[in-house]
Copies of this chain bind each other. A is one copy, B any other.
């Protein structure tokens, strides 16, 4: 297969973790006889510095014309801590998601047996955790109309959802559940919010077309508790933009390191793959950043294009790095292996599985 991949390295540790994924993709090319081309684009703080915009037009054009986008990380403290800034690095990502029509953010959370000790939760709590969060990504209160009445000093944000916005991600979630443990948990606040009540109605109705998948419901406050008490109960979690933001970040600590978790953002025409971690500027250039989240995101890219065998081979190489303790210091404090070494090891161990 030939794929044309847009590469947005972004800020901080972005460039160095993405470099490991590209290394691994080169190895996949060789092992499985594919051909990948890579084209770089600017985004985030580095794009602001060079062009004034967090998402230059060329970058958007690049992402629209390629088959998929591999994204690094984004953000620098000089912007976060400046309330007077007119543009923020994060705007680049929000705009890109919107322009590419990426309406679903997919985040698997898996506790790897060899890393179970990494989790802040007790072993009994986390073992067997293997869930995936489907977060609606282009609607809800994050994108709703905002007002500020200067006279009365009143601010408002509107949360809005249409049936069609709910329905398209719901189908993705149920299809995913079919190839997993066949369970969908809808997380909402239906005892209080009108939008949540619409989610319940739409999702319940759609669930009837998937009789092999079980649907249950949790309120967001309870779900945040269950994510700590018993994350292994979940298979597919389906939820709106804001609740998904909170739950998926919370889910991320369960795995023991935010450096391990990949994500995909998909729409009808485009797809983007990115680690869930931030740009971690303090670690940039020090060869200590964990490349695994970026590499596993790249594995999701392969899966997205039905290269399941190839994706499995990448995951197997990552698991081998864990069992051989070829990991960065965030996983094992005493480890002397850096970003590059771990990336090389994983790339070298991508091979056809029997």
Contacts and interface: CB of A to CB of B under 8 A. Distances in A.
Interface of A: 83, 88, 90, 120-122, 125, 141-142, 144, 146-148, 152-164, 189, 191-195, 197-198, 200, 220-222, 224-225, 228-229, 242, 245-250, 252-254
Tallying the copies of this chain within the complex gives 2
A225 B249 contact: yes
Contact of A229 (B83, B120, B191): B120
Contacts of A242: 189
A77 B44 CA distance: 50
Given A194-B146, A194-B148, A225 B245 contact: no
B158 A154 contact: no
B194 A222 contact: no
A122 B224 CA distance: 18
Contact of A120 (B83, B90, B122, B163): B122
A157 B193 contact: yes
The 6 closest A-B pairs by CB, nearest first: A153-B163, A146-B194, A155-B198, A221-B249, A155-B194, A224-B250
B159 A194 contact: no
Nearest to A167: B153
A96 to B, nearest CB: 15
Interface centre among A122, A164, A194, A195, by most B CB within 10 Å? A194
A24 B225 CA distance: 30
A162 B152 contact: yes
Contact of A160 (B83, B154, B162, B164): B154
Nearest to A123: B122
